[in-house]
Amino acid sequence: MNRFTIKDIELLTGIKAHTIRIWEQRYKLLKPKRKDTNHRVYDNDDLKHILRVSYLYHRGVKISKIAEMTDEEIRRSSLEEKMTEDLFQPFSNQLVEAMIDFDQQRFEKVFNNALLRFGFEKTTLQVIYPFLQRVGLLWLNDCVNPAQEHFASLIVRKKMMVAIDGLDLPREGSESFLLFLPEGEYHEIPLLFVQYLLKQQGYLVTNLGPSVPLEDLKFFTDRRPVSHIYTHMLTCFSQKDMDTFLMEMSQLFPQIQIIVSGPQTERISSSLPTNIIALHSLDEILRYTKKGKPVTMP
């Protein structure tokens, strides 16, 4: 069973640790265990309960009102759907709960309900991305087992592959995009989402997947026409390694537009080869894939 500190709970719920302590003392909303050092420690059930409480609280329910509810009433109320923008949070909360419990049936049911309500693109942006951010926080704080992360990621990956496969074939004569992740990079979900967005716009898209050597890209481009190469970087490159990698790509593919995105673009030096574009945010990625043309670097 997982163990969480009060700081972990703060990061995952957006409720300050000081406020959580007040809720415990004044309203008895949680009953954390204590370490030998007398520090609070929370288990899976505590996390799921406080996620539900935080959702109701952020939705405007007074904490005194929540404190009067039974655990079952809190659970039911947190699942109630209300036609406002805060609808997305309970879906992400429920995905976290299902992941922690390895509950595949529930995970897929929540995902499918979000797809039916919001469609694929909005579900990815408003439900899956916030969910993955929470998983990242859990992982950074050693609060999630790699098996739990893989369990959830593989289901999300499967859903994305189905959505990509369901799109129409590219238009005749479309520009062609070659997608890949650099060697040592295995986080496919952002790249799959870009594949979906580009294919949705009618482009021809080939995805070579994770951990691809540059010589394999060259082997492909020597045999098939490619107008754009796209990659997404999450792993930790030093600035020197990043600049060397991009320079090598530019020299290998001088006639091809190269697009790089992801958190590691912050390590890129200000001077980029003319055939490389860096997209520094999700908003820039969306604008690029929707317009099919470069955005101006900030």
* CATH 3.40.50.280 domain residues, the chain: 168-291
Q: pLDDT-based confidence at 298, cuts 50/70/90?
A: very low
The verdict on domain 82-166 having CATH code 1.10.1240.10 is yes
Q: pLDDT-based confidence at 29, cuts 50/70/90?
A: confident
Q: What percent of the chain has pLDDT over 90?
A: 42
Q: Which fold has domain 168-291?
A: Rossmann fold (3.40.50)
Q: What is the pLDDT of residue 153?
A: 93
Q: What is the pLDDT of residues 272-297, one digit of tens each?
A: 889 999 998 888 999 999 875 443 33
Q: What is the CATH number of domain 1-80?
A: 1.10.1660.10
d(CA 298, CA 279): 10
**Mean of the pLDDT values across residues 75-91?**
67
Q: What is the pLDDT of residue 207?
A: 97
| CA distances in angstroms from 258 to 12, 97, 187, 277, listed in the order given | 36, 39, 19, 6
Q: What is the pLDDT of residue 211?
A: 92
Reduced to 3 states (helix: H, G, I; strand: E, B; else coil), residue 7 is: helix
Q: pLDDT-based confidence at 85, cuts 50/70/90?
A: very low
**Mean of the pLDDT values across residues 244-260?**
93
Closest by alpha carbon to 115, among 100, 99, 95? 95
d(CA 286, CA 230): 13
Q: What is the pLDDT of residue 177?
A: 96
* CATH 1.10.1240.10 domain residues, the chain: 82-166
Q: pLDDT-based confidence at 193, cuts 50/70/90?
A: very high
Asked if 237 and 264 count as a contact pair (C-beta separation under 8 A), the reply is yes
d(CA 167, CA 70): 45
* CATH 1.10.1660.10 domain residues, the chain: 1-80
Q: What is the pLDDT of residue 237?
A: 63
d(CA 218, CA 42): 51
Q: What is the pLDDT of residue 240?
A: 63
Q: What is the pLDDT of residue 294?
A: 40
Q: Is the pLDDT of residue 61 over 60?
A: yes
Q: Is the pLDDT of residue 10 over 70?
A: yes
Q: What percent of the chain has pLDDT over 70?
A: 88
**Mean of the pLDDT values across residues 42-48?**
80
